[in-house]
Structure 1
Amino acid sequence: MRQFENKLRQLGQPDYVRLNGSTYQMNLYGKYDNFRESCLSAEGLSSRLRFSLQIIDNYLRSVTEVYLTEHDTRYHRFLAANYDFNITSSLFNSDHPLHQDMTGLTFADESFDLCISFEDLEHIPDYKKAIQELYRVTRKKGAALLSTPFWVDKQKTVTRARISDDGTVNHLLEPEYHGDPLRQEGILSFYDFGWDLLEDFKRAGFSETSLVLGYDTTKLILEQQLFILAIR
């Protein structure tokens, strides 16, 4: 995989690469070496999002009721157009009618066969409460599929920032902000997750929690593609 990625870097910084009859946009965030979030397909889906579809196709295609923690994104529209799912979507925006706080979801217990949350967990100060809520609204034998930055060389999660009693942010490490389509300044990351994150899912009640890893050089699904798949 690394050899293949190095060959791509040797091309310079093209806007597009054509491979096996498909064209991919390479430079969405202006960071050519960020293959996880680039290599966009014709539908505008990055390596990471396209790999999530492979997971769904292989393990989760038979589900019906799906909760997705985003709304009217390219991914949301692709799922709605290509899968026979009944999708409930949401936004974290208190002024929007679809607002949901992952630490206090308004849905009834066991509402969904599948809950999907991408790149949310690291931005939630009480992420363990969010995991508990995902467990609560997931049906028995249902699943939660999540992506979040994950450090495979860390056994324990590192806390980067905390919320103080007065509501201010207490930075324990240099602030790290991730790209956010709703905030030009980006969104603060509170955690660098390690392997103990899997135990947090088990403590919330999920019976089985796995990491799903993969890449596919023939479809430009590159870099470290890693998802958490938790079965209730």
Structure 2
Amino acid sequence: MNSSQVLPHFSYLRASSFEEYQQLTRVNQELYFLMQDVEKTILYNHQDQDQFKLNGYCYVCDAFSDFKIVRRRSKPNIDGLKIPNWREGLSCVSCGLNNRKRGALHIFDRTCSPNQKSKIYLTEQISPLYKYVASKFPLVVGSEYMGEKIPYGSMTNNGIRNESLTCLSFEKDEFDYILSLDVFEHIPDYIQAFKECLRVLKPKGKLVLSVPFRLNSPSNIIRAKVDDRGDIIHLAKAQYHGDPMGKAGVLCYQDFGWQMLDQMRDIGFSSVEAIIYRSRFYGYLGNNHTIFIGQK
């Protein structure tokens, strides 16, 4: 990151509400369709390949690279094209980070400008993303959720810290930045998790997060909840995401909509905005790339 090279402008939309997003998309409609055509052209050129590479510039590596695209399990769309999972694909052959993670680090760098004195908390630790951030910034703390097997705030013999986002062991006003990628959808009481993040952030500190997000939905969609007895009640078809701590997968409790931004403001974040981005040059393909910035 922090390239010394002269690179193409990285443009993105910033919106604080569903209404503002709708207005921006109307204004930028031509650009949206242009990017769709670019992506269709790529898929047409490789329509007989279930796996191929696309060249581009990796902002994380600060170098030109190839991004891997896999669409073995993809279903054809109305044009007969098999659309890959752009968000979780396009892994850089050099750093190994996928589309979503590379984009998140790009936005984090551009909007927060972290430095060597920044104290950063990542809500993950067993990942290439954590290793990369820890190699760049000395004051980084990472953790995984391991339940109550060991006390929160303590570490395993392998040096993995156990934390629950709903009950963090950190002191008040401890971090400049919190970086959390696709974690909050797995927390039934996500409001409490937001409150804890707000508590441990320094004044003017920022929470940078990604979640499964429905850009065209004003409201959150609750997929499952936990009742008073601790039982899980499913309100939609159970959906499980990959879990670095095991093979079983972890349940998704909600898909977020623009309601989430209002909820963050209601609990005390001074400002919350969505950053919606897309770039052929940087390999950020697909139309569902959104990072959220909440400032204390």
TM-score range, shorter chain: over 0.9
Shift of 1:29: 8.8
SS at match of 2:164: coil
Kindly report the root-mean-square deviation, in angstroms, between the aligned alpha carbons of the 2 structures. 1.8
Change (3 A) 1:149 1:183: same
Deviation at residue 19 of structure 1 after TM alignment: 4.0
CA contact (8 A) 2:167 2:196 kept: yes
Deviates more, 1:119-128 or 1:21-30: 21-30
Counterpart AA for 1:230:
G
Task: Tell me what 1:230 maps to.
Answer: 294
Larger Rg: 2
Q: How many residues align?
A: 231
1:85 CA drift (Å): 4.3
Please say which of residues 41-50 and 13-22 is displaced more in the overlay.
13-22
Give the Cα separation in 1 of the matches to 2:291 and 2:248: 26
Which of the numbers 213, 217, 235 marks the counterpart of 1:154? 217
SS at match of 1:219: coil
For the pair 1:6 / 2:40, whether they are aligned, the reply is: yes
TM-score calculated relative to the size of structure 1: 0.93
Q: How does 1:62-73 map to 2 (within 5 A)?
A: 62-63=114-115, 64-73=118-127
Equivalents in 2 of 1:186, 1:28: separation in Å?
Answer: 21
Q: Secondary structure at the match of 1:216?
A: coil
What's the % identity of the aligned pairs? 27
Contact 1:66/1:85 (<8 A) preserved: no
Residue identity in the other structure for 2:88:
E
Shift of 1:16: 2.7
Question: Residue 59 of structure 1 is aligned with which of 97, 111, 114?
Answer: 111
Give the structure with the larger strand fraction. Answer: 1
How far does the alpha carbon of each residue in 1:76-133 deviate from its partner, in whole angstroms, 9 at most, with x for none?
111122x334101001014462100000000000100001111111110000000000
Equivalent of 2:134 in 76, 80, 85: 80
Distance between the aligned counterparts of 1:131 and 1:186, measured in 2? 23
What per-residue deviation string (whole Å, max 9, x for no partner) do you get for residues 14-36 of structure 1?
24333464211223996561111
- Using the alignment, how far apart are the partners of 1:161 and 1:29 within structure 2? 29
Equivalence for 1:112: 175
Give the superposition deviation at 1:208: 0.4
Contact 2:71/2:85 (CA < 8 Å) preserved in 1?
no
- CA–CA distance in structure 2, aligned partners of residues 44 and 174 of structure 1: 31
Residue deviations 1:184-221 (CA, integer Å, cap 9, x gap): 23211111211110011111211000001111101211
1:50 to 86, 102, 106: 102
Matched, 1:205 2:258: no
